[in-house]
A and B are shown apart, each in its own frame.
Chain A
């Protein structure tokens, strides 16, 4: 079981609210990722980070923002939530180098977000 945590696990909020989804890992991994997943669909990368003070946008356009002030922490923020943001958000991390299993990402349990 990977040591990567996400809170909250479930969140139901109204339109226009600001929310922050938390993600923490205790494995000392340099790389961290945020994915969005809708039912029956593939995971889409929305943000990633190579390390502290490094953040990049992923393949899927997202109105969310991220920060990486500490290695273990990679929160995702929505300034003004809309119903179109309703989805499952998965956080993942990977070590800088793992020759036995290159590019393996370890996933958190996810946050199920519903915006009314």
Chain B
């Protein structure tokens, strides 16, 4: 069973609308959580990173939240644009190894329609 679960698997919204993507994880011991954006045919690009003590982090129209007690995170996108169409991947890092092992979710495929 994957230690990082994301929902929904896919989402279609109209341009200008807001949306929220969810991430639940079981990775322990927890180090940090990132949200990556992956455009089709490209590598993932980091949007936000949050450590245990942070519960919200913004990057422009992207706002990520973290509840380390319930092991849940969300990514809220405000005033969506066509360029937001991509896969959004939740990635959790553990503290248990010098490698800084990353655990990847399968991503939420977001499509923004005009």
Residues of A whose CB lies within 8 Å of any CB of B are: 2, 4, 31, 40-43, 45, 48, 50, 90-92, 94, 101-110, 112
Contact = CB atoms under 8 A, between A and B. Distances in A.
A6 B102 CA distance: 21
B46 A104 contact: yes
Interface stretch (B36-44, B65-73, B78-86): B36-44
Nearest to B34: A104
Q: Closest 8 CB pairs between A and B?
A: A107-B43, A103-B100, A42-B104, A103-B93, A43-B104, A42-B106, A107-B44, A108-B43
A2 B4 CA distance: 25
A101 B49 contact: yes
Contact of A102 (B9, B31, B43): B31
21 contacts: A2-B45, A4-B43, A31-B99, A40-B106, A40-B107, A42-B107, A43-B44, A45-B102, A50-B99, A91-B43, A94-B100, A101-B49, A102-B100, A103-B31, A103-B100, A103-B102, A107-B44, A108-B43, A109-B43, A110-B41, A110-B43
A109 B42 contact: yes
Chain A interface main SS type: loop
Interface residues of B, number: 25
Contacts of B46: 101, 104, 106
Contacts of B4: 42
A107 B106 contact: no
A92 B9 CA distance: 25
Contacts of B31: 102-103
Contacts of A4: 43
Contacts of A92: 43
A92 B43 CA distance: 9
A101 B46 CA distance: 10
A109 B102 contact: no
A112 B42 CA distance: 10
B20 interface: no
B26 interface: no
Contacts of A2: 45
B2 interface: yes
A45 B102 CA distance: 9
B111 interface: no
